[in-house]
Structure 1
Amino acid sequence: MNLTPPMTAQFKPITPGAYLSDQVADALAAEIRAGRLAVGAKLPTEAALVEQFAVSRTVVREAVSRLKSLGLVDSRQGSGVYVKEVGFSPLNFDAKSTVSRQAVIQMVEVRRALEAEVAGLAAQRRTQADIKRIGKSIALLDKAVQAGGDGVDEDVQYHRAIAEAARNPFLIGTLEYLGQFLRGATRVTRANEARRADFARQVSAEHDKILRAIEAGDAAAARKAAARHMDNAILRIEQADPAFWQQAGVQLARPLVFGLPPRS
C-alpha cells in the first residue's frame, strides 16, 4: 500500500516557444530541488501534467525522460513516476569545462562510439518501414532548416529512427539515459552548422550517406559513415568562429550540466 501523500504542487502553462520539454523538465526539477517534491513523492499523472502545462503528451514524456536521465525520478511499473534520492552520478562533469568547446567535443566523442554501433546494427536488422522512417526524418530535418529552424528536434528524431532500427533495447536505453547531454551537444553543433551553408550541406550529405549504407545492409559502411559524421561534427566545432562561443555557444552548452551535483 502506498502511503506517500499525493503531490499538491500546481504548475502554470508554459510560455510558447522552443524546447517545450525543457521548460517542463526545468519546472519539475525546480520543485524537486526546492524540496516541494520530496524523495518518494509521486509526480502528477501524465494527463494532469498535460493539462497543467498546456502541452502535448509527447512534450511531457520527453520532459520526464530528461528527469530520468538526470537521475531525479524513477518509473514504477503500473504505479507512476516518483522522485528519487539523488546519489552519485557517473556523469559528473565539472561546470567550468562543460560550458566550453572541449566539453561539447567530448560529448560528441561519446556519441561517436554509440552512433557507429547503432548504425551498424541498423544495417543488419532494418526493415523497409525503418528505411522509410529514417528517410522521412531526413526530409523533415531538411525542411526545418530551409524554414529557418535549428533542426534540433528533427536531428534527434533522425538518430532515434536509426536506433529503433537497431532493435537493441539496451542501446536505446543508454541513449535515453544520455538524452539530456546528447541533446545539449546537438543544440551546439546544430547552431554552429546553421551559421554556414557549407556546414549545412556537409551534414545533409553525411546523413544521406548513413541512410544509404543502412539501406544497402552494409554494416561496415554504416559504422564508418556514422563515425565519420561524428568526426566531422568535431571538426566543425573546432572550425567555429570564436564569436560563436562568445555569443550562443556557451549559453547553449549550459544544459549539459543541468541538475548535476558538483564534482567532489
Structure 2
Amino acid sequence: MTARPPTPPAEPEPGRRRAPGHAVILDWLEGELRSGRIQVGDKLPSERTLAERFGMSRSSVREAGRVMDAMGLVRSATGSGPRAGAIVVSEPSAALAWALRMHVATRALPVADLVTTRVLLETEAALEAAEHDVPGRGAILATAHAHLDRMDVPDFPAREFHRLDAEFHVLLSTLSGNVVLETILRSLREATIGYVEEAMAGVEDWGAVRDELQRQHRDILAAAVERDGPRAAQAVREHIHWFSRFTTAGPDAAGG
C-alpha cells in the first residue's frame, strides 16, 4: 500500500507561531495512522514530496525522519529501489527504553522509583499469566528454561548473564497476554541494564550472588509453570527487592 499525497497543514492563527517542521509531519502521520490510510509496512512519500506538499525544506523533512526513527515509527534505508525510503514500523519498546534511559541519566527519573514500578508491573504480569493461555506458552516457558540453563554455566560472562536475566523477565511477562505491559517492562529493563552492569562490576563474590539469583529465578519459573499466580507474584516481588537492596550500596540501582 502506498500512502496518499499528504495534505498541506492549515495556516496558523494570526499571532501564533507555526509548529516546527517535524511536528507538522508527526501530526500528519498520526492522523494517517489513526484513519488507516497509512499502515505498518507502508512506505512514506519521498523527502521531496513531503517538502513540497508541506512547504518546508528537505532538511526539516530529514529532521522529522530522524525523530520518527528514534520513536520507533519508521525505518529508513538509503539508495534507490523498492526497499529505499522510510518504511512505517512499530517498535514502541525501543523508543520508550531510549527515552527512559536518557531521563534516568539526568536523574529526573530515580532508578529506585523504576524498581518500585517494576514490582507493581511484574507482579501484575505474574497474576495475569496464571489466568491466560497465550499462543506458544509452552515454547515461551521452554525458552525461559533454556536461558536459566545457560546462566548456570560456570564462568558464564556477567554481561551475557545480565542480558539473559533481562530477557527471562520479559519472556515471563509475555505470558500475561498484555502487550502494553510487556512493552513497558521491556523498556524498563533496557533502560536500567547499564546500571545493573555497573553496580555488579565491583561485587567481590559475584558467584554467590549469581547462585542466589538463579535460585530465585527457578522459583519464579516453577510458579509460572504451575500457574500459581500469587506464588509467582510473591517470588518476583522478593526477587526484585532483594537484588535492588544488594545493589544500593552506592546510588540507586535496579536489576534482578
Cα distance in 1 for residues equivalent to 2:165 and 2:152: 9
Matched, 1:182 2:189: yes
Identity of aligned residues (%): 17
SS of equivalent residue, structure 1 residue 125: coil
Whether contact under 8 Å (1:122, 1:166) holds in the other structure is: yes
Shift of 1:128: 3.0
Residue number in structure 2 paired with 1:95: 106
Per the alignment, do residues 168 and 145 of structure 1 end up closer, same or farther by CA in structure 2, a change over 3 Å counting? Answer: farther
> What letter is aligned with 2:62?
L
Aligned to 1:39: 64
Length-normalised TM-score, structure 2: 0.56
The residue that corresponds to 2:83 in the other structure is: none
Decide whether aligned partners of structure 1 residues 224 and 170 sit closer, same or farther in structure 2, where only a CA change above 3 A counts.
same
1:202-257 deviation digits (Å, cap 9, x = unpaired): 2111111100111122111000001111111221122x3x5xx6xxx99x9xxxxx
- Counterpart CA distance in 1 for 2:154 and 2:129 is 25
CA distance in 1, matches of 2:148, 2:191: 20
8 A Cα contact 1:206 1:225, kept in partner: yes
Counterpart mapping for 1:198-213 below 5 A? 198-213=208-223
Q: Determine helix, strand or coil for the equivalent of 1:217.
A: coil
Aligned length: 183
CA contact (8 A) 1:119 1:210 kept: no
> Structure 2: how far apart are the matches of 1:70 and 1:221?
33
The 1:65–1:201 alpha-carbon spacing in structure 2 relative to 1, beyond 3 Å, is same
Amino acid at match of 2:183: G
Alpha-carbon displacement from aligned partner over 1:162-219 (angstroms, at most 9, x marks no partner): 011111223223335xx0x432323322443453322222211111110011112211
Q: Say whether the 8 Å CA contact 2:159–2:197 is kept in structure 1.
A: no
> What is the alpha-carbon distance in structure 2 between the residues aligned to residue 234 and residue 210 of structure 1?
17
| Bigger RCO of structures 1 and 2 (CA < 8 A, at least 6 apart) | 1
* Bigger Rg, which one: 2
1:80-119 matched pairs, under 5 angstroms: 95-96=106-107, 98=109, 103-119=110-126
